[in-house]
Chains A and B, each alone.
Chain A
C-alpha cells in the first residue's frame, strides 16, 4: 500500500472577516503513477469571479520551483508569505496527501472553487490540475485531476 498519510490539523487557514463558524475539513489528494519525481502541489481557493482568495497548502519546500505552479504563481506573484506555515514535502507518484484543516462555513455553497496546481521536474507543468467547486453536496465526491492527480476529495 503506497500511501503517505500526512494528516495535519491546521486551524488558521482562511478565516474570512465576520465569519466565525468553521469546521474541520479533510482534503485527500491521491496521485497516479506518472513515473516521475515527487510532485509540487499548491492548494488554493478562488472566489466566484475567479479571483484568488487564499492558499490552503503547499506541498514542496523549495520556493525557487514555485513558478512552475503557474496559476498560483501568477495569482500570488510568487509570494511565499501566502504559504508560510502551511508548507510540506512534495508528494511522490502514487502516494496520497491528506490534510485536515478548519474551513469557514461561508466558503461552502458560495461560488468558491478549490484549485490544485501541480508540477513535476522534467515533466509538464499542470496548472489547474484540479478544480473543485466547494459545495456541501460535493463533499465526499471524488474529482479527477488532469495529469497527475488520480482523485481529489474533501470530507466534512
Chain B
C-alpha cells in the first residue's frame, strides 16, 4: 500500500518534481551570493543615521529598503528621473545596480509557475504536494526496509539502483519535507487562503501640518537599529498631510514629518510572523547557509527520479503475465506468491506454466489474498516467498501471517514453502522461514520441507522442481530464465588442470578481456568493470539458463579468471573444462557487492575449499597494500588439487598473503578446513575480537562446518557468527 503511494506520485510527477528540484537548487545560490556581496551596516547604526546619510547624497530619496541579506537599497527621484541603487551603509552612497537579477527572476518564475501564471502555480504546488507524499511514503519504506526507524542509517545491500535510491533518500528526505511543506504554505498564502495578510496601522487622524523634522531627531528612527529595518518610505515633497512609513521586524508605523511623533503603530500578527519564517526557510533569504543546504539536497531529486524509474522498470520487466490462471475454487494446485520487486512472480509464472502443461489446474495469487476456505478442490498449496529487508513480509504477502493465525484450522491440502533470497543478507529467506514455522505451528501438513533459492538461481529452482515433481508423481522440468543482461563473447587464453588424480578434475580458466566500448567503460557495465568475487554467468550450449561462477580476477589484472570443477554429467562444467585456448564462451557479468573485502586495514580471514579458492585468490592477488590476510584452504591432496599452489609462495614473499594454512582431506588423517580453524582457535579469536573480517567461499556443507567451528572458537569471546553477519563482518559465497 505504501509502495503504491510512493510509486504513482513518483512516476506521474517525475518531470514536475525534477524541474522543481533543479530550479530550486539553482535558486539556492542567489541568497548566499547576495549575502556575500551586500555591503553590511556597521553594528549599532540606526535607521535615522543611515537615512540621513542617504538623503545627504540623494535629496529626492523616496524609499529605503533592507533585504534579509542585509542589502540596503534606496529609491529616489532626481529632477523627475527615477533612480535606485544598492547603498554602502557607511557612506550612504550607491555602489551597485538595484535592478533585479534577470537569471534569478527567470528561475523564480520557472520554479513557482512554469511561466504559466496562476495555473502554473497550482501545477507546481501539486508538484510540491507530490514531493511531500513521496518523501513521507519513502521514509516509511526506508524504515520498513531497514527493519525499523532506529535502523535508519543501517548499511544497505541489494542491487545498485535500489541502494543508491535509499542512500540519497535517507539524507535528503529531511530537506525535501521542509522544502515541500513550506512551498505548499507559500502557495496557500499567495492565493489568500491563509489569514496572514499584513495589518496596516490606522490612518493618522491628524498630523502636525509641519514638515522638515531632522531624520536623526525622530525618536523612532533613532531607536531602530538598521538590522531591524524592513522599509522606510518618505512623505511626498510638498504634501503636508503625508507621513513617514516605517516597517520593521516588529511591525509598521506612521511618523509625523514635522514633529517626528509616532502617529500610529501595528504589530506584525502571529500569522505574518509564521509566514515570514516559512518564506525564509524556503528561499534561504535571511538563512543563506540553510538555503544552500536545501539546494544541495534538492540535487538528489533528479538522481532519485532516475534510480526510482529504474527500480520500477526492473520490477515491471521482471513480472510476467500469467496465462490461463484458474479460479481458486476449481484449482488442484494453489500457488501463493510473496514478491517485493516482482522477480518471484517470474518464478511463479514458470512453475504455473510447467504444472499446467503437466495437466494440473493451477491458481496463482498473491499471498496477501490467502483465502483457505475457497481452496475447496486443492490438492496442494505452494508458497513462493521472497523476504523484504530484515525478515519482513514482501509487498504482495502483507497480512498473510495474520490471516493464517486467524484461521481456526489449517487447510487439509499439504504445503510446500520455497524461499527466495540472497545469502549475503543475515535474514536470508527469513520470511519464508517464518511462514514455514507458522504453518507447522498450525499443524498444516507438509508436502515438501522448506527449501530456498539463492539469488534467483535457476539451478536451485530446477532442483526444487524435480523434488516437487517427484512428490506429485509428475515429470516437472522447471526452466526459468530471468531476464538476462547483454552477453559478451570471451576467448580462452590459457588453462591449468588439477585434481584428476583425486577424482576432482578442476581447471583454472583464463579468458581475454573482451573489447569494450567507451560508453560501457563510462557506465561500468559488462566486463568494463569487475572485481574478484563478482559473478560471471555462462550460457552453456544447449541451455538458455546461465550458470554462475565466482570471478578470481579483477579488471585491472587484465584477464578474466574462473575456477571450474567438472561435475559428472554437468552440462556447463563439462563444456568449460573441455575448452582449449582459442575457444569461446558466451557470458555476462553480475555484480556481487555483498562479497567484497571492503576498504580498510582490518585483517581478513579467508576460508575456502576446492573451487571456492577462486575469489579468495583474487583478493590476495589484488592486495597490493599488504593488508594482513590469513588464508585457510582445504584441498584433497597437495600433489593434485593444490589450486594456485604455484603462486602462493610468491604472494607470501610479496606480502600479499600474511599466513597460509592448508588442510588436506585425503590421507591417513583426513583434515578439513574447519579442523584447521579449530587448530588455530586462540589466534582466530584474537583476530576477530580485534575487528578482522571473515569471508567464506565454497560448498554449502563446508560453509555450515565453518560456521559451527567459528561458533565454538568464538564462544569464549561472547561473539557469534550470527552477530558478525549482522555487522557485515562475516560474509559467505556459497554454492
Chain A positions within 8 Å of B, measured between CB atoms, are 35-37, 61-64, 67, 70, 73-74, 77-78, 89, 122-126, 128, 146-147
Contact = CB atoms under 8 A, between A and B. Distances in A.
A77 B202 CA distance: 9
Interface stretch (B192-200, B415-423, B582-590): B192-200
Nearest to A144: B80
Interface stretch (B16-24, B99-107, B556-564): B99-107
A125 B62 CA distance: 10
Interface in B62-100: 62-63, 75, 77, 80, 82, 84, 99-100
B200 A78 contact: yes
Contacts of A37: 105, 109
A74 B200 CA distance: 10
A123 B344 CA distance: 61
5 contacts: A35-B99, A36-B100, A63-B192, A64-B197, A70-B233
Interface size class, chain B: 20 to 34
A107 B50 CA distance: 44
B624 interface: no
B82 A147 contact: yes
A152 to B, nearest CB: 16
A61 B198 CA distance: 17
Contacts of A122: 100, 105
Interface of B: 62-63, 75, 77, 80, 82, 84, 99-100, 102, 105, 109, 117-118, 189-192, 197-198, 200, 203, 233, 236, 245
A147 B80 CA distance: 10
B231 to A, nearest CB: 9
B102 A35 contact: yes
Contacts of A61: 118
Given A62-B192, A77-B203, A122-B105, 15 more contacts: A35-B99, A36-B100, A64-B190, A64-B197, A73-B200, A74-B203, A89-B117, A122-B100, A123-B99, A123-B100, A124-B62, A124-B63, A125-B63, A146-B77, A146-B80
A124 B192 contact: no
Contacts of B117: 89
Main secondary structure of the interface of B (DSSP, over half): mixed
Contacts of A70: 233, 245
Contacts of A126: 82
Contacts of B80: 146
A35 B197 contact: no
Contact of B84 (A63, A67, A124, A128): A124
Contacts of B236: 128
Contacts of B197: 63-64
A124 B109 contact: no
A67 B82 CA distance: 21
Contacts of B245: 70
Nearest to B242: A74
A64 B192 contact: yes
Interchain residue pairs A-B with the least CB separation, the first 3: A124-B75, A147-B82, A122-B100
Nearest to A128: B236
B82 A124 contact: yes
Nearest to B192: A64
Contacts of A89: 117
A62 B100 contact: no
Contacts of B84: 123-124
A122 B699 CA distance: 72
A35 B100 contact: yes
Nearest to A148: B82
Contacts of A125: 63, 233
A39 to B, nearest CB: 13
A6 to B, nearest CB: 14
B686 to A, nearest CB: 68
Contacts of A62: 190-192
Nearest to B99: A35
A67 B200 contact: yes
Contacts of B192: 62-64
A63 B102 CA distance: 26
A73 B252 CA distance: 15
A52 to B, nearest CB: 12
Nearest to A75: B203
A64 B196 CA distance: 9
A67 B198 contact: yes
Contacts of A63: 192, 197
Nearest to B239: A50
B100 A146 contact: no
A48 to B, nearest CB: 16
A35 B420 CA distance: 63
Contacts of B102: 35
A146 B81 CA distance: 7
A50 B75 CA distance: 25
Contact of B105 (A36, A73, A147): A36
A122 B99 CA distance: 9
A63 B198 CA distance: 11
B700 to A, nearest CB: 70
Nearest to A71: B236
B509 to A, nearest CB: 69
Contacts of A35: 99-100, 102
B243 to A, nearest CB: 10
A146 B80 CA distance: 7
Nearest to A65: B190
Contacts of A73: 200
Contacts of B62: 124
A70 B80 CA distance: 19
B310 to A, nearest CB: 39
Contacts of A67: 198, 200
Contact of A146 (B82, B105, B200): B82
